[in-house]
Amino acid sequence: MGGGSRALTDLLDQAKARPQALDEDARTTLLSLEDPDELAALFAAARELKERYCGRTVALRGIIEAGNVCVKDCRYCGIRRSNANLERYTLTADDIVRLARLDARLGYASLVIQSGEIEGETHTAFIEDVLRRIAPLDLGVTLSLGEQTEETYRRWRQAGAVRYLLRIETSNPDLYARIHPADHDWNRRVACLAALRRCDYQVGTGVMCGLPGQTIRDLARDIGFFAEIDADMIGMGPFIPHPDTPLGDEPMDAKRRLSLGLRMIAVTRLHLHDVNIAAATALQALAPDGREQGVRAGANVVMPNITDTKFRRSYQLYAHKPCLDENAALCRGCLERRLQAIGETIAYGQRGDSLHYRTRAKK
Ligand code: SAH
């Protein structure tokens, strides 16, 4: 072994010994690794930690894409308000309840409801009604419905949601300003994350990796941000340019973006230890086995799509979205095979609460 490898082994040992052992420079070093042997060591260390906290199992959450109507105009996102090149749809409460039952039947025991961003009493009451109707199914319900008032978050929590995923997108406010219109406010997103914590959600956040102008140091700081807000869950993935958006012309190097996404998962695991980390579907858009690679790099959650096939085409946040022509049953079989192939079993029948949250709640 050369001197570089010795230093790397020491760094990885330090990271494994206790949470938050990596300073910003160390995280930057790890995120910058390119050598295949060194990357293999990084991923192995992260997977070892995943196994320490989650075993050789992966938790599944069915994701329902409840609608693509959105008031936001994020410059990277395929369902942004100004994109006229797609059909807008909104699932009915009956649709969502039916899919939640399907989720329960598939044994996932855990559900994510995601949609474009809508605010106001009608929408708040709609989601509240859905949550009350699915409560008897006893699923661990995650919401991913964007920025809302604290009052709305509280009502949804009381109606049965236990987790909320709101990506900060980037912890760098200047970069945030460059990828959003002027009226989108980074500070509000931070305030929303604090409000979610006050409402006693398991709080999830995350970023996109490979944004135009984003540096490795930005990503190292993103992981610092996750630690600072004491996040329970992390959902992050590579940025993938969507042709019908202002950032659609960004050069696309799938390999590089995938590798960056995997390194972010690994270093996040090494820094935060016991949080839930999702292997985002965007990884699968870059390689057929992208999610498995995510698990091998330290992720412990996969979110199979259970939205009806006919709506999947209208919910394309990024290009090359996979599984457009599949249905929930196909996705389940496919995932089982894929995860088995890398030596993981699926944690069926578990609500999948974040270990980090449970540990904090006990303190
Ligand atoms: N409206 C909700 C959730 C829907 S968007 C919210 O604001 O939280 C879900 C996530 O998709 C976003 O947080 C963003 O990180 C991701 N996303 C959007 N466009 C993307 C793109 N072009 N490439 C990769 N991820 C993208």
- Convert the pLDDT of each residue in 276-330 to its tens digit: 999 999 999 999 999 999 999 999 999 999 999 999 999 999 999 999 999 998 8
One-letter amino acid of 4: G
Atom of ligand 1 nearest to the CA of 166: 8
Alpha carbons 323 and 304: distance in angstroms, whole number: 10
pTM: 0.97
Summarize the confidence of residues 15-39 as an average pLDDT.
Answer: 97
DSSP H helices, 236-344, are: 254-272, 281-286, 290-296, 309-312, 328-341
**Two tokens at 182?**
């002027």
Task: Provide the mean pLDDT of the chain.
Answer: 96
Counting from 1 in the atom list of ligand 1, the atom nearest the Cα of 70 is 1
The pair of three-digit structure tokens given for residue 274, joined into one six-digit string: 């016991």
**How confident is residue 122, by pLDDT bands cut at 50, 70 and 90?**
very high
Share of the chain above pLDDT 90, in %: 93
In degrees to the nearest 10, what's the CA dihedral of 213, 215, 219, 225? -80
Ligand 1 center–CA 144 separation, angstroms: 10
Q: State residue 3's pLDDT score.
A: 44
Residues 6+ apart with CB under 8 A from 203: 163, 164, 166, 193, 196, 197, 229, 230, 231, 232, 233
Pseudo-torsion of CA 214, 300, 196, 192, nearest 10°?
A: 10
Question: What is the number of the ligand 1 atom nearest to the C-alpha of 207?
Answer: 15
User: Residue 2 above 50 pLDDT?
Assistant: no
Residue minimizing CA distance to atom 13 of ligand 1: 167
Pocket test for ligand 1, best of 112, 127, 318, 321 (most atoms within 8 A of CB): 318
- pLDDT for res 362: 83
> Residue 113's closest CA among 191, 190, 189, 165?
165
Closest CA to 172 of 139, 215, 129, 120: 215
Separation of 23 CA from ligand 1 center, angstroms? Answer: 28
Report whether pLDDT(87) > 90: yes
Atom of ligand 1 nearest to the CA of 165: 8
Q: What is the mean pLDDT of residues 56-77?
A: 97
What is the per-residue pLDDT across 148-207, written as a single tens digit (0 to 9) for each?
Answer: 999 999 999 999 999 999 999 999 999 999 999 999 999 999 999 999 999 999 999 999
Measured in Å, residue 96 CA sits from the centre of ligand 1 at 20
Query: Whose C-alpha lies nearest to ligand 1, atom 11?
Result: 317
Chain-centroid distance of CA 226 in Å reads 13
Q: Is the pLDDT of residue 1 over 50?
A: no
How many of the other CB atoms lie within 10 Å of CB of 120? 12
Q: In whole angstroms, what separates CA 257 from the centre of its chain?
A: 16
More confidently predicted of 350 and 112? 112
Which of 167, 190, 314 to probe ligand 1 with, by most ligand atoms within 8 A of CB? Answer: 167
The Cα 283–Cα 90 span in angstroms is 26
Q: How remote is the CA of residue 70 from the centroid of ligand 1, in Å?
A: 11
Please give the distance, rounded to the nearest whole angstrom, from the Cα atom of residue 126 to the centre of ligand 1.
Answer: 22
DSSP of 3-35:
HHHHHHHHHHHHHHHSTT---HHHHHHHHT---
Measure 47 CA to ligand 1 centroid, in angstroms. Answer: 26
Name the pLDDT band for 4 (thresholds 50, 70, 90).
low
CA angle 224, 261, 230 (to 5 degrees): 25
Chain centre to alpha carbon of residue 215: 20
The two tokens of residue 20 are: 């938050």
Give me the pLDDT at residue 167, please: 98
Tell me the pLDDT tens digit for each residue of 219-257.
999 999 999 999 999 999 999 999 999 999 998 899 999
What was the pLDDT predicted at 185? 98
Pocket test residue of 74, 77, 284 for ligand 1, highest count of atoms within 8 A of CB: 77
9: CA distance to ligand 1 center in Å? Answer: 35
Q: What is the pLDDT of residues 249-290, one digit of tens each?
A: 998 899 999 999 999 999 999 999 999 999 999 999 999 999
As a whole number of angstroms, the distance between CA 223 and CA 242 comes to 25
Q: How far is the CA of 77 from the centre of ligand 1 (A)?
A: 6
| Residues contacting ligand 1 via CB (< 6 Å) | 76-77, 114, 116-117, 144, 146, 166-167, 169, 208, 237, 239-240, 242, 282, 317-318
Q: Amino acid identity of 57?
A: T
Is pLDDT of 126 > 70? yes
Cα of 234 to ligand 1 centre, how many Å? Answer: 13
- pLDDT tens digits, 31-44: 999 999 999 999 99
The rounded Å distance from CA 317 to ligand 1 centre is 6
pLDDT at 103 over 60: yes
Query: What's the CATH fold of domain 26-362?
Result: TIM Barrel (3.20.20)
- In this prediction, residue 252 carries a pLDDT of 83
Closest residue by Cα to atom 25, ligand 1, is 239
